[in-house]
Amino acid sequence: MRVRAALGCIVWALVGCASAPPTDARTFEGRVAWVADGDTLRVRQGRDEAVVRMLYIDAPERDQPGGRDATRALQRLVRGSEVQVRTRGRDRYGRWLGEVVRLPDRLDVNHEMVRSGHAWASARGAQRPRFDAAQRAAQTARIGLWRDADPVPPRVWRHRDD
């Protein structure tokens, strides 16, 4: 009897763990409360706020050429808007890494920042072709940061004094 009960507990634990979603991936909705820069925003859910670092993109830093334009572009897209955030974990600063979709029109905000020339594509895997195509289109049209003949990627800008 004890063996059967123990086996039942083990099976229950295994099934429960196998079907439970990972704790670092979730989807939530809220209203954008603040835009920090071209790829970071704060989303309010009731009394709670979540800081979200947008996946698949890298916008210019605030003190970098194009940084203020990128911040303003993201503000125009989402300030005060309801959004859905699909997270893929957290970064080393504790921010949610997420895909941001503006509601109710379902605009993919991450993609739009690249398409409008306000961020570099940094997608990997299945998302890469779509984001790379958006970046190439912005480069060809010479819009946003691509008006500059040789814009400096944020990953280079951040380490310019090293």
The residue among 23, 22, 43, 25 whose CA lies nearest residue 33 is: 43
Q: Based on the residue annotation, tell me whether 155 is a catalytic residue of this protein.
A: no
Distance CA 63, CA 3 (A): 65
Q: Based on the residue annotation, tell me whether 53 is a catalytic residue of this protein.
A: yes
Catalytic one of 2, 26, 53, 62 = 53
Q: Based on the residue annotation, tell me whether 49 is a catalytic residue of this protein.
A: no
The residue among 103, 135, 95 whose CA lies nearest residue 116 is: 135
The whole-angstrom distance between residue 147's C-alpha and the CA centroid of its chain comes to 24
Residue 12 three-state SS = helix
Which residue type occupies 38? G
Cβ-proximal residues to 157 (8 Å cutoff; 6+ apart), any chain: 60, 61, 64
Catalytic one of 68, 82, 92, 95 = 95
Catalytic one of 26, 44, 61, 82 = 61
Hey, how many other C-beta atoms are within 10 angstroms of the C-beta on 26?
A: 15
The residue among 53, 41, 56 whose CA lies nearest residue 135 is: 56
**Where in the sequence numbering do the catalytic residues fall?**
53, 61, 95
